[in-house]
Amino acid sequence: MPPADPTTKKPLDIVVKFALWVFVGSFALIWGGMYLSRPDRSIPPYTVGSQSSHFVATYVPRDTQDDQIERLVKRFRKVAHETRDFGPMKIYPTTAGDQGGRYRKIVIYVFDDHLKTEPDVLAKYLAGDAVVTKDYEQSMRGYYQLLDQDEEGGTGPIPQDGNSSSDTRILFKGLVTDPFPAEAEPEPGISISPL
């Protein structure tokens, strides 16, 4: 038998090949999962802090700009016009069991302070606690309300009894059955995809 040539390479063992495939495949799965579950970057990140009946208190990061709040409020409007299903927006049904739909009535408050969205603070506000009410309304960054067919959204505090604050900017007001305005969707944020 001739001596083995030291320059020839031995083929990889089947166990080594399998381990390499598992290694590469796991990174492909992780990347694919991250890509498919990436957040919607056209609206600011938000969290539902508490919900009481059809009232929902959400919060956004403190550095959220007014135009981002506006995009979030307009997204709530878009959902109401297209599907009227706020479940994908992390909101539990507000009128469950109602013949008019699971989200026939909804009032969403947007804050940049998570303490304002605590369940006990929302409950005190809804109960009309004078100590909480003024500060609660002044802290609002935006709102969206859908009451059967009537909808309204804006930045700043929600108008009370038809009176709006000087800090309130009403973005839209009308019927949810009105034609949805054709607005250009904002560009999505920077993707984490390397492709």
Give residue 191's pLDDT. Answer: 45
Give residue 193's pLDDT. Answer: 41
3-state secondary structure of 81: helix
Give residue 150's pLDDT. Answer: 93
Q: Confidence band (pLDDT; 50, 70, 90) for 68?
A: very high
Q: Which residues contact 130 (CB under 8 A, 6 or more apart)?
A: none
Q: Which residues contact 140 (CB under 8 A, 6 or more apart)?
A: 109, 110, 111, 156, 157, 158
How far is it, in rounded angstroms, from Cα 137 to Cα 123?
14
In the predicted model, is pLDDT for residue 114 greater than 80? yes
Q: Round the average pLDDT of the chain to a whole number and report it.
A: 85
Tens of pLDDT, residues 133-153: 889 989 999 999 999 899 999
Give residue 64's pLDDT. Answer: 92
In the predicted model, is pLDDT for residue 1 greater than 70? no
In the predicted model, is pLDDT for residue 32 greater than 50? yes
Domain ranges across the chain? 12-41, 47-175
Cβ burial, residue 17 (10 Å; 0-12/13-18/19+): exposed
Tens of pLDDT, residues 98-107: 887 889 999 9
